[in-house]
Structure 1
């Protein structure tokens, strides 16, 4: 059954336990937790048990941790770092009842042939997936707009190359729209079993010759940007996907606003655009 979640990058300046309360009070049933908030929490010596208690208190679910980044890197130091992060976050996810962690390949392999980018990235992700499988954790790829793997087509190539049943993708409206190679029809044709979550968001593209600053370009509520949201929402629904929709507002401007106000507005907008509630 479709559900409504808050991606906690939308309220970046609050902490993990506060996010759980704020999201519930805004009308959400679940959260995708920014990975930095999990690391801050653990590095402060806090325990998963307290997170479990807070989730139970507010009748909330943690559906994903976002993210382990730079999973395309091939040097020994970064691979070791990546595998350590996977082990720690997978154990934490298991203990708090979360079954998904996001993976983000970025730009270390930029300029190489696509086949090589896919092969090298898949090799790393197979190792990640094998660690997660021991903890009952799956992994969702986020194709990032400015990276070599920025389209749904490339995402499918990577999923096939990884060949693990605990690896799929998230549909992030802004990243796929900004990347300019993926259309709503491409989404509509995707096997829904490969879609783990939806990142609902609006935004713009930067003018030619200017810097792509995600925290500015995504600094608008749904309906204020340039993405044809109704088309993207319908395309997802046409796949038969019936899982969680997360509102992700990556906006430096909104991070300085009242977190409760931002959470409430994103909840309202998800109701309007996805769940047909006025």
Structure 2
């Protein structure tokens, strides 16, 4: 395990995007890091929990490797739609957000998931837009059970998206951060949680100091991400042609 992580640190330092760090890969090593557990719940740090997540541990996974909710960001932009279809070789309804995961650790260990991931990572050095999420979706194609939106309530992105009533877990993914912008969907849950900490004033100051230059920087980052997705979709062969998806 340590050798695998050290290899990633040596060989995969230049990650793309403003918010990508080596830690994005760590969730994919959880099955081997905690061999004493049969299931686990993974949450991104930009989540707020409204209901006991242990309810998820009783979710009927059967032989599915993960349970997760669909990624709506990928469904909004023509560039990301082409990226998922043409480059990843996946259907949008089978492309999931990796910020909230119910993990079938026992099954993942039985199928040597971590070894498959490190072999894929070290053999092909594939360019991706969301590396950890894309590897997970590729390796687990049609082995991810769909969670109800209440367990990964994302701020509405598409016109057809609606707010989840009484969400269990809110996920402020992508650029929709209530500590940066006012009137973000579900921001009342964030500020209610923040008010119960010593960080409330600091977070309010963070929001007040988030300038137009910061906003412009995020707009540029989005443009670069979409351009990167379009290049991959239009200039490289599909990952599916590598026969990585069973």
TM-score of the superposition, structure 1-length normalised?
Answer: 0.26
Q: Which has the higher strand share?
A: 1
Higher relative contact order (CA 8 A, sep 6+): 2
TM-score of the superposition, structure 2-length normalised?
Answer: 0.29
